Amino acid sequence: MATVAGPKAMRRLVDAVMAIGSELELPVMLRLIIESAVDLADATYGALGVLDDTGTRLAEFITVGIDEEAHARIGKLPEGHGILGVLIIDKRPLRLPNLTEHPDSYGFPPNHPPMSSFLGVPIRLRDKIYGNLYLTDKKSGEVFTDVDEELVVGLAAAAGVAIDNARLQELVKDMALVDDRDRIARDLHDSVIQRLFATGMSLHGALGLIKPNPDKASVRVQAAIDDLDITMKQIRTAIFGLENSGSDEESLRADVLAVARDAEGALGFEPRVLLDGPIDTGLDSRIGGELLTTLREALANIARHAGAHRVDISITVEGDVTLEVRDDGVGPGEAFRAGGKGLANMLHRAERLGGTMEIQGVEPSGTLLVWRVPKG
């Protein structure tokens, strides 16, 4: 049977997720994240180490449980050696009953308080590690548990989303964008808050499942974490669009975002775009060209026949290149099939590249087009 957090701990996780999601100032948010982690795991000491640009050393180290006087006695802050370095290299949660017994332990510098039990969890920003949460010495004197790790991993997933959002806000403020850049920043922030709120509610819904069905509760928590991962991808796409809004540099990412913007006139709204994987470095120009043409045709069909109020575009580059275009319109009935030649052209483009195309209805209404070709 799966081990899951109890109702009280889950409520604390929900509260922590909502708290860090509503904070915009990055320094304040980082301290709030480590304070929340210490509270969730009932730890005596905690730290959040932020990696430098190389991803190999700690550029910032925020602590909880050690006062300023003790900091002064200890001296220089750690850079990521010993057990801290293990987590930087391995990038997976790490639990130790006694960190001093680990073969990579460097010991403590003079005047450092003794520490024993250890829990470390990475904070990911999409496919990169932003930093690590380090927790030591559970207040009860026991070792950290599966539940402690589960709670802190959930917090770290939400923290990644919140940090990305805060960095996005800083980017918007620093860039010389159009006059309504404050509105753009507010809209992007609100969409993240809505996603975090929905995730928090999903976690709250898992509370009632803990006793009667712990396995189902665990699945609910994992689904919430997966949803946070999707949110991070959406934020990264938005950041890319802002960073390249005034750039003349050619890239498939920029072309996809431009196609989405161009479709606003015909659709009456701008489609939402989610890009994942090495889109600019992992594809040759032929695949990129066929993908863009297919996307334009799909959006044109939706504008002419679907009567949609929302369109979501997703492009993923892994083993294959997958383009998904989803709308909330009338569905793949007679009106949609009226596209005729356009749909046939999209299918032929996929087949020429050794791929496939499928169209299906979605609930409660709308159409999903999936265009998939080998990466090469």
Length, in residues, of the chain: 376
DSSP readout, 219-241?
HHHHHHHHHHHHHHHHHHHHHHH
User: How many angstroms separate the CA atoms of 58 and 80, rounded?
Assistant: 6
Buried b (16+ CB within 10 A) or exposed e, 348-366: ebbeebebebebeeeeeeb
Whole-model pTM: value is 0.51
* Residue where the block lists tokens 């790490």: 94
Strand partners, 369: 325, 359
| Range of weakest confidence among 233-242, 278-287, 292-301 | 233-242
* DSSP H stretches of helix in 263-372: 264-267, 285-301, 334-337, 341-352
Contacts of residue 6, Cβ cutoff 8 Å, sequence gap at least 6: 147, 210
Asked whether the predicted pLDDT for residue 339 surpasses 50, the reply is no
Residue 340, CA distances (Å) to 154, 334, 356 in order: 47, 10, 17
User: How many angstroms separate the CA atoms of 111 and 131, rounded?
Assistant: 25
Mean pLDDT of all residues in the chain? 79
User: How many angstroms separate the CA atoms of 280 and 149, rounded?
Assistant: 36
Highest-pLDDT range among 1-10, 72-81, 189-198? 72-81
Identify whether 364 is preceded by a cis peptide bond (ω within 30 of 0). Answer: yes
DSSP readout, 170-216?
HHHHHS---TTHHHHHHHHHHHHHHHHHHHHHHHHHTGGGTTT-HHH
The distance of Cα 23 from the centroid of its chain, to the nearest Å, equals: 17
Start and end residues for every CATH 3.30.450.40 domain found in the chain:
7-239
pLDDT in tens, 291-312: 999 999 999 889 888 889 999 9
In the sheet where 58-64 sits, what is the strand order?
A: 58-64, 43-51, 128-138, 118-125, 94-96
43: left (phi over 0), alpha (psi -120 to 50) or beta: beta
Pick 252-374's CATH classification: 3.30.565.10, 3.30.465.10, 3.20.20.70, 3.40.1190.20.
3.30.565.10
Residue type, 170: E
The confidence score (pLDDT) of residue 165 equals 79
Give the pLDDT band of residue 206 (cuts 50, 70, 90).
low
DSSP letter, residue 112: P
pLDDT in tens, 157-174: 888 888 887 777 666 565
Helix (H) or strand (E) run with residue 252 in it: helix 252-262
Start and end residues for every CATH 3.30.565.10 domain found in the chain:
252-374
The confidence score (pLDDT) of residue 210 equals 56
User: How many angstroms separate the CA atoms of 5 and 149, rounded?
Assistant: 10
Give the pLDDT band of residue 335 (cuts 50, 70, 90).
very low
Give the pLDDT band of residue 176 (cuts 50, 70, 90).
very low
The confidence score (pLDDT) of residue 365 equals 87
Please provide the CATH number assigned to the domain covering 7-239: 3.30.450.40
The confidence score (pLDDT) of residue 372 equals 95
Highest-pLDDT range among 66-70, 101-105, 200-204, 327-331? 327-331
